[in-house]
Amino acid sequence: MNLSKSLAATLIAGTSFFGTVAVADEINVYSYRQPELLKPLTDAFEAETGIKTNVLFAKNGLVDRLSSEGQNSPADVLLTVDVGRLDAMKKADIWQAIPADVTANLPAEFVDPDGAWAALSLRARIFYVSKDRVEETAMSYEDLADPKWKGRVCTRSGQHSYTIGLVAAQIANNGVEATKTWLEDVRDNLARKPTGNDRAQVKAIYSGECDIAIGNTYYMGKMVTNDKEPEQKDWAASVRLIYPGAEQSKTHVNISGVGIAKNAPNLENAKKFIQFLLSNDAQAIYAETNFEFPVVPGVASSDLVASWGELHADTLPLASIADKRDEASKLVDEVKFDEGPQN
């Protein structure tokens, strides 16, 4: 994979190459998180600690890059936006345990049992529903299978990591056979073949193509504050949010997270960086700038996010959900979810 141009173009506060020798006042970060989302946090970390933060951003390939670099890797930490990528880091054996005292203030479900990774923020997989055409104010994921929604549901590809995470959570909570039946019924309630990103689903509701869509919470924040593309504000104004929840299955959440590289040359700075990201100040930055939920108990969501309702997150350990992702992907293909309704 030729990453040289794209990676060099997106370096933040660093040079085009990282050295492999430990430097007392630096840390090297490999990141799947977009630079504009990460910069407020790295700026605050540098201001507080004086440690220069070199960030290498890429959409794909960083786990493979770490593996191929081996002992010569300059990376200290890996930041990502999906527990599946964190699990891939663990399976590739390119990590070392985050000390328990660093993650002591996190709920157990948001930390890998072996310390391979820790959550930094939460994003909930919720429903966008039409303000004009949907009366319901409370629903569960199981409700998506109800025939009343036939021809009224929109979603992105079943093989997208967000969807795989939700299907994996259904398997972990309800078993493979029940999830297969549910997935088939949801497929047959679709208004179209799965396509587009989460914002495209809201646009489809706005245009009348469907009445309910599955999406991540923070996209609503991105749309309602999007001055560069004001049409997205109109899309957002056409929907309201419902946090899916029932006694047997509360709202599914995924994470942005972090792991320490196996051969981190600046290990102490890596620990300091994670401690900072789990501090109340950094958690508030996540909440205010990225419209995500803080993972540290007691840190409030932004006023905008709080206005959408209260999150009751599934407390199933994310490591258990990550273990079901391969099964989820196979199930999506087995039921031909991305081909759309079968009857």
Of 169, 174, 181, the C-alpha closest to 214 is 169
Q: CB burial class (10 A; 0-12, 13-18, 19+) of residue 180?
A: middle
Of 151, 34, 21, the C-alpha closest to 76 is 21
User: Buried b / exposed e across 105-117, counting CB within 10 Å, b at 16+?
Assistant: bbeebbbbeebbb
Q: What is the pLDDT of residue 35?
A: 80
Q: Which residues, in sequence order, are CB contacts of 176 under 8 Å at separation 6+?
A: 327, 331
Q: Phi and psi (nearest 5°) for 160?
A: -70, 150
Q: What is the mean pLDDT of residues 110-138?
A: 96
For 191-208, write each residue's pLDDT tens digit: 999 999 999 999 999 999
| Res. 171 pLDDT band, cuts 50 70 90 | very high
Q: Which two tokens stand for residue 253?
A: 């959440």
- CA atoms of 250 and 270, how far apart (whole Å): 34
Q: What is the mean pLDDT of residues 157-174?
A: 95
Q: Is 164 helix (H, G, I), strand (E, B) or coil?
A: helix
Of 6, 27, 31, 5, the C-alpha closest to 18 is 27
Sign of CA dihedral 72, 78, 80, 86: positive
Q: Which two tokens stand for residue 211?
A: 């009445």
- Please, are residues 82 and 253 in contact by the beta-carbon 8 Å criterion? no
Q: Residues, the chain, total?
A: 343
Q: Is 108 helix (H, G, I), strand (E, B) or coil?
A: helix
- Please, are residues 154 and 213 in contact by the beta-carbon 8 Å criterion? yes
Q: What is the pLDDT of residue 121?
A: 95
User: Buried b / exposed e across 7-46, counting CB within 10 Å, b at 16+?
Assistant: beebbbebeeebeeebeeebbbbbbbbeeebbbebbebbb
pLDDT at 164 over 50: yes
For 228-287, write each residue's pLDDT tens digit: 999 999 999 999 999 998 555 589 999 999 999 999 999 999 999 999 999 999 999 989
Could you tell me what percent of the chain has a pLDDT over 70? 92
Beta strands in 184-342 (DSSP E): 212-216, 239-242, 253-261, 293-294
Give the C-alpha distances (Å, rounded to integers) separating 236 from 11, 219, 290, 294: 32, 9, 17, 23
Give me the half-sphere count of Cα atoms (radius 13 Å) on the Cβ side of residue 199: 14
Could you tell me what percent of the chain has a pLDDT over 90? 86
Dihedral-angle region of residue 29 (phi above 0 means left; psi in -120 to 50 means alpha; beta otherwise): beta
- Please, are residues 74 and 19 in contact by the beta-carbon 8 Å criterion? yes
Q: What is the pLDDT of residue 246?
A: 54
- Please, are residues 57 and 7 in contact by the beta-carbon 8 Å criterion? yes
For 54-103, write each residue's pLDDT tens digit: 999 998 899 999 999 999 999 999 999 889 999 999 999 999 999 999 99
Q: What is the pLDDT of residue 3?
A: 40
- CA atoms of 248 and 126, how far apart (whole Å): 16
Q: What is the pLDDT of residue 77?
A: 97
pLDDT at 33 over 90: no
Q: Is 127 helix (H, G, I), strand (E, B) or coil?
A: strand
Q: What is the pLDDT of residue 27?
A: 97
- CA atoms of 201 and 197, how far apart (whole Å): 7
pLDDT at 5 over 50: no
Q: Could you tell me the domains of the chain? A: 4-122+253-300 (3.40.190.10), 123-251+318-339 (3.40.190.10)
